[in-house]
Structure 1
Amino acid sequence: MNQNATHRRPARRLAAAVTAAAALSAAMLAVGPAAAAPAPEDAPVLIGHRGAAGTAPENTIAAFKDGRASGVDFFEIDVQLSADGVPFLFHDNTPARTTNVEEVFPGREDDPITSFTWEELQQLDTGAYFSERYAGEKIPHFDAAAEIATRNTGVFIEIKSPVNSPGIEQVVADNLSEDKNWNRLLEAGKIEVLSFDETSNRRFAEIAPDVPLQQLTGTVPDAATLERYATFADSFGTNYRTLDEAGAQRVKDAGLGLGVYTVNSTEAYEQSVDLGVDRVTGDFPIQFSRYERGLKVFPQNVGVRIADSVNDVPGADLQPETGEHVILENTGNTTVDVSGWLLRDAANNILRVGEGYEIPAGGQLRVYTGPGTDAEDAYYNDGTANVLNNGGDSVALWTDSGSLQDTFAN
Structure 2
Amino acid sequence: MSPYARVVALLATLTMIFWPVASVSAFGPARSASAEETAAAPSPSVTRPILQETFTLSGSIGSGVSRVVRLQRYHDGDWQAVQRQVVATSGRYSFTVVQSSWRTRWRVLAPGIDDRGQDWPERVTEPRTLFGQPQAVTTSMPRSVRAGSAVRITLFAAPARPGRVLTLQRDSGRGWAKVADLTSDATGHATYAFRTRDVGKTRFRTVVREHHGAPAFAGPTAAVYAIGNRPVGVMAWRGDSLNYPENTLDAFRSAVRQRADFIEMDFQPTADGEWVLLHDDDFRRTTDVETRFPDRRTASPREFTLAEVQSLDAGSWMAPQFRGVRVPTIEETFDAIETAERLHGHRVRLVVELKGESAAEMGALYRKVVSLRPGWVSRTGHDDKAIFMSFEASHFDFPGAERTGMEKVAVKDEPDPADVHDGAFAQVHIHTRLLDAALVDRYRRQGAEVGTWPAVGTASVLRAAVAGVDYVTTDDVASARKALLQR
Q: Same fold (TM over 0.5)?
A: yes
Aligned-partner residue type, residue 153 of structure 1: V
Alpha-carbon shift at residue 245 of structure 1 (Å)? 2.5
Query: What are the equivalent positions in structure 2 for 1:41-60 lying under 5 Å apart?
Result: 42-60=230-248
Aligned partners of 1:88 and 1:269: how far apart in 2? 29
**Is 1:205–1:232's contact at 8 Å kept on the other side of the alignment?**
no
Aligned partners of 2:399 and 2:248: how far apart in 1? 25
Aligned-partner residue type, residue 82 of structure 1: T
Which among 118, 123, 126 is matched to residue 306 of structure 2? 118
Aligned-partner residue type, residue 210 of structure 1: G
Aligned partners of 2:336 and 2:385: how far apart in 1? 13
Does 1:174 find its partner at 2:362? no
Distance of aligned partners of 1:272 and 1:204 in 2 relative to their CA distance in 1, 3 Å threshold: farther
Which among 255, 261, 276 is matched to residue 468 of structure 2? 276
- What is aligned with 1:191? 386
Query: What are the equivalent positions in structure 2 for 1:141-160 lying under 5 Å apart?
Result: 141-149=329-337, 150=341, 152-160=347-355
Describe the superposition over 1:156-211 as per-residue Cα deviations: whole angstroms up to 9, x where unpaired. Answer: 11111334xx73222222233221xx334436732221110111023388166322
**Is 1:219–1:243's contact at 8 Å kept on the other side of the alignment?**
no
Aligned partners of 2:479 and 2:294: how far apart in 1? 38
Does 1:212 find its partner at 2:382? no
Matched residue SS, 2:287: coil
Aligned partners of 1:230 and 1:147: how far apart in 2? 35
Aligned-partner residue type, residue 135 of structure 1: R
Aligned-partner residue type, residue 262 of structure 1: P
Aligned-partner residue type, residue 74 of structure 1: F
Aligned partners of 1:63 and 1:252: how far apart in 2? 31
Distance of aligned partners of 1:52 and 1:204 in 2 relative to their CA distance in 1, 3 Å threshold: farther
**Is 2:427–2:448's contact at 8 Å kept on the other side of the alignment?**
yes
Distance of aligned partners of 1:172 and 1:60 in 2 relative to their CA distance in 1, 3 Å threshold: same
Matched residue SS, 1:155: strand
Aligned partners of 1:108 and 1:99: how far apart in 2? 13
**Is 2:452–2:472's contact at 8 Å kept on the other side of the alignment?**
yes
Matched residue SS, 2:296: coil
Give unpaired runs (5+ residues) of structure 1.
1-38, 296-410
Whichever structure has more helix as a proportion of its residues is 1
Matched residue SS, 1:194: strand
- Percent of aligned positions that are identical: 22
Alpha-carbon shift at residue 95 of structure 1 (Å)? 0.9
Distance of aligned partners of 1:230 and 1:134 in 2 relative to their CA distance in 1, 3 Å threshold: farther
Aligned-partner residue type, residue 327 of structure 2: I
Aligned-partner residue type, residue 367 of structure 2: D
Does 1:128 find its partner at 2:321? no
Matched residue SS, 2:235: strand
Alpha-carbon shift at residue 40 of structure 1 (Å)? 8.4
Alpha-carbon shift at residue 122 of structure 1 (Å)? 1.0
Matched residue SS, 1:107: helix
Distance of aligned partners of 1:232 and 1:104 in 2 relative to their CA distance in 1, 3 Å threshold: same
Aligned-partner residue type, residue 369 of structure 2: L
Aligned-partner residue type, residue 186 of structure 1: V
Describe the superposition over 1:84-139 as per-residue Cα deviations: whole angstroms up to 9, x where unpaired. Answer: 11111100001111110122112221112221111111111111111111111111
Aligned-partner residue type, residue 447 of structure 2: G
Aligned partners of 1:48 and 1:243: how far apart in 2? 19
Aligned partners of 1:221 and 1:203: how far apart in 2? 25
Describe the superposition over 1:333-357 as per-residue Cα deviations: whole angstroms up to 9, x where unpaired. Answer: xxxxxxxxxxxxxxxxxxxxxxxxx
Which among 282, 285, 303 is matched to residue 94 of structure 1? 282
Aligned partners of 1:261 and 1:269: how far apart in 2? 9
**Is 1:55–1:63's contact at 8 Å kept on the other side of the alignment?**
yes
- What is aligned with 1:19? none
Which among 433, 442, 446 is matched to residue 250 of structure 1? 442
- What is aligned with 1:162? 357
Distance of aligned partners of 1:278 and 1:288 in 2 relative to their CA distance in 1, 3 Å threshold: same
Aligned partners of 2:368 and 2:334: how far apart in 1? 10
Matched residue SS, 1:170: helix
Return the TM-score normalized by structure 2.
Answer: 0.48
**Is 1:48–1:283's contact at 8 Å kept on the other side of the alignment?**
yes
**Is 1:259–1:281's contact at 8 Å kept on the other side of the alignment?**
yes
**Is 1:82–1:115's contact at 8 Å kept on the other side of the alignment?**
yes
**Is 1:40–1:292's contact at 8 Å kept on the other side of the alignment?**
no
Give unpaired runs (5+ residues) of structure 2.
1-226
**Is 2:452–2:471's contact at 8 Å kept on the other side of the alignment?**
yes
**Is 2:360–2:398's contact at 8 Å kept on the other side of the alignment?**
no
Cα root mean square deviation, aligned: 2.3
**Is 1:47–1:76's contact at 8 Å kept on the other side of the alignment?**
yes
Describe the superposition over 1:66-90 as per-residue Cα deviations: whole angstroms up to 9, x where unpaired. Answer: 1111111111100111111111110
Aligned partners of 2:377 and 2:325: how far apart in 1? 27
Distance of aligned partners of 1:66 and 1:78 in 2 relative to their CA distance in 1, 3 Å threshold: same
Q: How many residues align?
A: 250
Aligned partners of 1:40 and 1:143: how far apart in 2? 39
Distance of aligned partners of 1:294 and 1:250 in 2 relative to their CA distance in 1, 3 Å threshold: closer
Aligned partners of 1:204 and 1:77: how far apart in 2? 24
Alpha-carbon shift at residue 270 of structure 1 (Å)? 1.4
Query: What are the equivalent positions in structure 2 for 1:288-367 lying under 5 Å apart?
Result: 288-293=480-485
Does 1:265 find its partner at 2:453? no
Matched residue SS, 2:365: helix
Matched residue SS, 1:241: helix
Aligned partners of 2:453 and 2:274: how far apart in 1? 28
